[in-house]
Amino acid sequence: YTLFNLFFTVAVTEKATTCDDSDNIQHLSCDNGVISVQSALYGRADRQICSEGKSPQQLANTQCSQDGAVDIIKNRCDGKRVCEFNTGDVRSSDPCVGIAKYLETNYTCLPANRLVTCEHSNSHLYCDYGQVIFVYGADYGRRDRTTCSYRRPASQTENVYCSNPTNIVAQTCNGKNSCTIRAHNSVFGDPCTGTFKYLEVAYTCECE
Ligand SMILES: *[C@@H]1O[C@H](CO)[C@@H](O)[C@H](O)[C@H]1NC(C)=O
């Protein structure tokens, strides 16, 4: 996948830094393409970042990081155009009590098409003549409250922790010029019963 590798090399890395004072919001976004989270730090690795108003003791530990922070953010954000979450959503336990922490996320914007299909509907991926689909990522579940929420009761949209990355779309569609796949439990299984789900797909078109 030469072209895909090229995307990686030309992609510019964006950095988002959010101080963990109260539950502050981190905002990741791509003007073009979709988010691909590269690395993340929740803790402290630097004395200067988010040091305003802090005592020396609160900045004393610069080797503090919570394991797994990058996976949490990847689950929430990869493949989206915009992604917002609280620092509290990333914190699973306090990696260094008494230290002022921050969240730093490095991400790139991959120039991929993004397709969202609500549960029960068909998802149709297609490329121009002479090009074939390469699926960068797919997720069948729910990662926010607003997508596919029209006329749905709150009980079906409030579980936003139903991220379920799947390679079924890649297996079905890679290498084809167009491809239709149903956003349905019969295809993907049911990762969260009672939640109205949707299929998110990020894909590129490559020359055959
Ligand atoms: C983000 O990238 C910068 C520049 O390469 C690097 O200094 C920093 O350590 C990275 N942050 C994380 C959380 O990996």
Do 72 and 123 sit in the same domain of this protein? no
Nearest CA owner, ligand 1 atom 6: 106
40 CB under 6 A from ligand 1? Answer: yes
If you measure from the C-alpha of residue 106 to the centroid of ligand 1, how many angstroms do you get, rounded to a whole number?
A: 6
Number of domains comprising the chain: 2
How do residues 31-87 score in pLDDT, each as one tens digit? 888 999 999 999 999 999 999 999 999 999 999 999 999 999 999 999 899 999 999
Same domain, 24 and 55: yes
Amino acid at 136: Y
- Residue 199, pLDDT > 70, answer yes
Interior/surface letters 125-159, b for 16+ CB within 10 angstroms, e for the rest: bbbeeeebbbbbbbbbbbbbeebbbeeeeeebbeb
β-sheet with 13-19: strand ranges across: 13-19, 102-110, 34-44, 64-65
Q: Is the pLDDT of residue 9 over 70?
A: no
Q: In sequence order, what are the residues at sequence separation of 6 or more whose Cβ sits closer than 8 angstroms to the Cβ of residue 157? A: 142, 145, 148, 149, 195, 196
- CATH number of 103's domain: 2.60.120.740
Boundary-marking domain end, from 110, 138, 168: 110
Q: Which residue range(s) make up the domain with 175? A: 113-207
By C-alpha distance, which of 113, 98, 183, 182 is closest to 148?
A: 183
The finding on whether 46 has its CB within 6 A of some atom of ligand 1 is no
Q: Domain end: 77, 110, 143, which one?
A: 110
pLDDT at 5 over 60: no
203 pLDDT above the threshold of 90: yes
pLDDT band of residue 10 (cuts 50, 70, 90) is low
Tens digits of residue pLDDT in 160-182: 999 888 999 999 999 999 999 99
Ligand 1 contact, 41 CB (< 6 A) = yes
Residues 149, 61, single domain; the answer is no
Query: Does 1 reside within a domain?
Result: no
Boundary (domain end) residue, out of 55, 81, 110: 110
- If pLDDT is split at 50, 70 and 90, which confidence band does 13 have? confident
- How many percent of the chain have pLDDT more than 70? 94
Residue range 110-134: mean pLDDT, rounded: 94
Distances (CA, A) of 23 to 4, 47, 85, 103, 106: 37, 21, 9, 11, 20
pLDDT in the model for residue 21: 82
Q: pLDDT exceeding 90 applies to what percent of the chain?
A: 82
Domain shared by 141 and 160, yes or no:
yes
- Decide whether any atom of ligand 1 lies within 6 Å of the 39 Cβ: yes
Same domain, yes or no: 22 and 99: yes
**Does 125 reside within a domain?**
yes
Which ligand 1 atom sits closest to the C-alpha of 105? Answer: 13
For ligand 1, the distance from its centroid to the CA atom of residue 57, given in whole angstroms, is 24
Report, as an integer, the average pLDDT of 105-121: 94
Are 146 and 86 found together in one domain? no
